[in-house]
Amino acid sequence: MAIDRRKAVLYGSAAAIRLFLFTVFPSLPDLLTGRVEISTPVTSFKRLQEGLFLYTHNVSPYDGGVFHQAPLLLPLFSLLPDLKQYPFATNVLYTAVDLLCANALMELAQTGQATSSRYFTSPRKRMTWSAVSIGASFLFNPFTILTCLARPTSVFTNLFITLATTKAAQGATSTYIIALSFASYLSLYPVLLFPPLAILCYDRQASLTTKTDRSSSPITFTITHVSALAAGIGALLYLSYFLTGFSWEFIPSTYGVQLLLPDLTPNVGLWWYFFTEMFDSFREFFLGVFWLHMASYVGGLSFRLRNQPLFVVTTLLGIFAVYQPYPSISDTSLYFAFLALYRHIIPLMRYSFFLVAALLYASFLGPAFYYLWVYAGSGNANFFYAITLVWSLGLSFIVADSLYAVLRDEWEVERPEMRGKEARQI
């Protein structure tokens, strides 16, 4: 496959900027690794090092109660040369992951699923960005660069989510299932993306095998794919069981932590403060409510936006970036990368400038307030929590506003005479 020149320039400059920052500011990655906005208890690179140390010394990595990441990451990172002496290998790995993610994103953009799916073609389809611009918007997003420098393991989840979406949009069933199994295995929550991705894949297959072939019925499709996903995840779990010395103790330390939230380290999300304040007797109930709330969007959105499954995936990524137990700015950067596919609906969004400004404000005030709370000691936890509220509010308004824009786009196909007119909710 010939790589065209624009792509080569994009990859080259993106890799150069990352490796430049890694080498010229050697203390920057460690500084960012400690930032709560980027590293959460379930993705932190520092905790990964801790787990790795235990693993290479033949102690169960989950013994200390510090490491909450998937076991398969350990052999991968133990293959890399020692971080202290040769940090370059790790840096190259993380840069490569970002580039692969961008590559998948660009392939996704080339499928054109964002503007014309099986049942719906947007009247604004000419307004999209080129694949290279979408890749650039991901690679040069400051959030992505900061995430890459801080080296959390969430980049692997992001890579597999993007890969799964791309493969689903291309109709490549098996790769999609494998990528999604990896993503779900690493972080659990991506399993919620299965329904919209399945619709996306099914639609794509159906439109590829036009009439000549008999496309499989929805029910067979669902059954085969659910079982394939289960088999994929099961295989990965069994491999982990094998790797951690035939013990299932990694399950409570990884997925248990995601589900039960024992670690209340601050992050940009909404859970930690809420569960710090809560009486223990209500804990289980509200854990259920919070998870149910996050999961409940899947069904509703998949039904309502049946015609645009890729947008369901995008919106869900936005919702995960807000309502996950341990969100970080790397989730936000993935959401913005997917939102860039929907360039054509941005003119229909009503508050884009205000919301982007609010997010920018929050991303500067957040570290300032965290500094006042933790280092200067002149503030308290409420300072930081207030800013994470603003951040989440801004992000969820962007999700809502983009949803409005997409619905409006659909509506204008049905009722062309309403184009450009004020819509009012009754």
Which residues here bind other proteins, judged by CB under 8 A?
347, 350-351, 353-354, 357, 360-361, 364-365, 368-369, 371-372, 375-378, 420, 422, 424-425
CA-based nearest residue to 169, from 347, 314, 323, 386: 314
Partners of 73 in the β-ladder: none
Nearer to other proteins, 241 or 383 (CB): 383
| Tokens found for residue 190 | 């991506």
Nearer to other proteins, 357 or 413 (CB): 357
Q: Is 246 left (phi over 0), alpha (psi -120 to 50) or beta?
A: left
Nearer to other proteins, 229 or 337 (CB): 337
Instruction: State the nearest-atom distance from the C-beta of 166 to other proteins, in Å.
Output: 26
Instruction: State the nearest-atom distance from the C-beta of 309 to other proteins, in Å.
Output: 27
DSSP per-residue codes, 309-355: HHHHHHHHHHHHHHHSSS--HHHHHHHHHHHGGGGGGGGG-SSHHHH
Nearer to other proteins, 260 or 374 (CB): 374
The Cβ-side half-sphere exposure at 72, using a 13 Å CA radius, reads 16
Instruction: State the nearest-atom distance from the C-beta of 3 to other proteins, in Å.
Output: 24
Triad 208, 210, 213: Cα angle to 5°: 100
Do residues 424 and 354 touch, judged by C-beta distance below 8 A?
Answer: no
Nearer to other proteins, 106 or 349 (CB): 349
In angstroms, the CA 271 to CA 284 distance is 13
| Tokens found for residue 331 | 């989730």
Nearer to other proteins, 231 or 357 (CB): 357
Place of tokens 């570290």: 367
Nearer to other proteins, 120 or 361 (CB): 361
- 361, with CB counted inside 10 A (0-12, 13-18, 19+), is middle
Which secondary structure element, helix H or strand E, spans residue 144, and what is its range? helix 142-150
Instruction: State the nearest-atom distance from the C-beta of 85 to other proteins, in Å.
Output: 20
Instruction: State the nearest-atom distance from the C-beta of 373 to other proteins, in Å.
Output: 11
CA-based nearest residue to 406, from 114, 57, 185, 113: 114
Nearer to other proteins, 98 or 401 (CB): 401
Instruction: State the nearest-atom distance from the C-beta of 269 to other proteins, in Å.
Output: 21
Instruction: State the nearest-atom distance from the C-beta of 76 to other proteins, in Å.
Output: 33
Instruction: State the nearest-atom distance from the C-beta of 406 to other proteins, in Å.
Output: 17
Type of residue numbered 124: R
